[in-house]
Structure 1
């Protein structure tokens, strides 16, 4: 060692100083696609901006369009593709030629603790830590803008008018999804996803900078901060580390890589892991995943030797007894301050609706989803979720409770059964107040309660079909009788007599012939079904509630044309958004009452001739439009309805020609655009009434 030290003597000692003036502001820019001999020092920098938190920089530099290496025709073509032929302040290239380019940065490394910029002066080395190392490359976002312009031109040529594209965008369905409560593992995956990073980058605002060239006076002033400002020895501490410690600081030993075992999904828990939890947590976890379970199965899943009394005490905290089986409580599945992943309905309304389904299963084994949805007024996706938790569907019969009645548990634990019955009585009283019903409504007359479980959905379906056939026959007979009484050559105007609903309040099934007969009996003219009857002629002898009519009027102010199916969906969402205890008058609204409210709100039914192969449901084929608003477009709107009464789709040119023939050429293009936007939607160059688009 001694000889080695003699062979490598110390030639010079240099004092090293740490400069901190620019420690949090100093960045190293690299241009990996630019040769080192071709710098940007003499290029005119037009603008510069930075996002400090993300360490993202954008530089805009001028291009020398007078250079012999510059292709002017290509530059003009690119500017034309990006900005088009019109001049706007937002144009990318104001000179109609590509005269600038943008450089965007990416981080070369996220850890710059080992990197610094150093300057040597008079035997002293001054180092400044780097805040970031950024690589700048040309940005080609102008090509994206050119592609967007090209798509706009193609869409305009295909549809014939830009307003068509706007109308088509207006009728596109928007799916709203709400996130479930996520686990820590799911949150980490989301945070590391590309979509999340892009959104975080967009949230931070740009900070605009002033660029100073290399030989600018301000640049020379800033370079002085690369030297340590405090040269007084009292302010600088000497390095007192040993050579070994100093070497370890410069090159720390490599840390051993931890073996990361793949983890399963967040909702999967092995039985071994489950049994490490407290008993109450074990039962809660099992019930949340299984939803409905017999007590014997629950005991089989738990560890041997656990007292059944303790299990009974815990299960009653998270589940309710239904037909001798345990069903998880609604507030366990839908905690407070959460919402439906399908529709966004608050957890309070979801718990109330699911409790009603559970309570109904305490009375009978079969349920019809349509009957449940008509009472709890929640979106179909949520109602289906409730039923799937505890029942299975049967073809033409409805939903049957998933498990057979566990009479053994009821006989073995009468005290628990009695306590659960008392609990259900309390839940029933709350549900009766909220949904405005009586328990006797769900028990067939002259039938003992225990026999109500044998009333199947198939029987109810047959009864509804029979009522529909009777209604259709009576309508046809009335129409024929009125035609016989009418003098030859006269128009038949028949006033529709109100038909009574079925005993259980179900609406008869709609058929095309019955709908046409109903339109004729209701005084329909030129393919429209009008509101000829006053409110007192409602089926039950009462007018629709004022709250219902107010909702219908407000809804048709937003959309001039709606199908019955879409209006029912909006009405159910409206009910779901009402606070508890409000809107009790709207809880028992039938389809007929809703249609009466439409016809009493200056609206009429438009009999659109759907194609024979159409798969639209009956409610989707009932189209209603605003008839009288008091504005100047009422007569044009009625003519538009007349066009669609003979064809379910019309070309824009046909609409414009017919409007010009009837009302002259004084109708401005903006009025035509407004009329089509209010009432129609477009697809592949054709115009449809809203809600009738055949995709």
Structure 2
């Protein structure tokens, strides 16, 4: 009997889904193995984001000052593509008048990329993120096509001028409209899809260089935030595995009484094969109808009834419909961030999971625990729900939540309790050693709440430094070492404020501006804040009261800066600083739009123009 391979090391693997819908890999098949994206400067980038088969075009700059560059040939190619006097309506391929860039257009190298992931290893942990697509970047020589098309158009114009046009009598015949089946078959052809794709314009995009702030923000999404156990396929029995592969369709009572439990009957397999044969015959019939020649006949126009919702959804899932949508979608300009930029580094941090607590293994679970994980208990304690007021999450309900949901509800309840008047002072509320702005009982201190929350939620000291530090940036903002709830969590999307019904987008933008001012200044003025954010006084006061307290010099943070926390976690401070830098342009635009213009007042010393009466003025 062969001995089993010894386990050298166990490395935890986490699955992050923050970038699962927007993560692509670019392959440059024409470049060598040592090529990186930073070897060339990206001058422009375009994309077609609306179709399901994403297309990307990237323009790399050429070194026109190099001794290996032929300036005469570059100018000749530019003139050949755009002409000597390009019209204003046409977009030139080379606006500089010389060939100073090389375009690369993407094509799908793998049709189904759902089985591929990208992994990042850090601190002896592997964080994986599913790929949305794998794109192969190939050089595009569209400027040659433009040159040939313009030459053919010029030759055609010359031929039309020289040829004598003869007046002839013509007979107009209207071809009958294609049937729905023929139209669908025609839309599946390669010529139709290529024409639709060629008609779709490009949309300009922004290319963020590596190391930029935007790239660093996206990189943080590569880290997993949930580490709950997901089970293991090796623990399934043979019957469960077959049942998962071939689900039963329809219930034959006579067969179910004979076939043992967990065994797939032969009747289900025969029904599946019959459906496959019927589908194959229908496809062959469609191909035969397309190949047959259609004869011109007199037709009667009838208006078809509108498709049902089910038929419309089924049609939108076809390849023809998706190809047509892809061809119609214009290219959008994008930002290209080079390697090493702040945005790239921020996006790279998203490859790492924020939760690294051990979740155990499915093979070690008992049968009862496995069934409980598959079929969670449904039901609530009615006695608790009748006591707890509406909108308040009880401690019993928080025990059933994950750690991230627990922390989020605590942060929200702290702000809510203060606004309701239950928490009257502005002392520090310590949550497991991390200061949170606003909210503590009137006659209680931080350690009391720390002990109560720690026991109720079963949070140990070991999980504090590993898990809580990684969860807090997902739902909170760091303000001088203190944590506040994020505006997007406090004001969910498509919601409105309870006071004046202000949309959530406006409330989030206004609250972020207030937090930004509190980060940059020790005191803020309520009137100046109201002029910039343009909200009713009640909303402005509500935002300020949730994060600050009033003093003789203005509104200030209720807590002193926690320098010890900032020195202990400098990476969190740096990440938060990058977040505020990314919003500086938006806040500057808000301030510039709301600056009041100075109006010159009339001087009161101007002499009166009323004539004097009896020697008096």
TM-score of the pair, normalised by structure 2: 0.37
Q: When the two structures are superposed, what TM-score results if normalisation uses the length of structure 1?
A: 0.33
Structure with larger Rg: 1
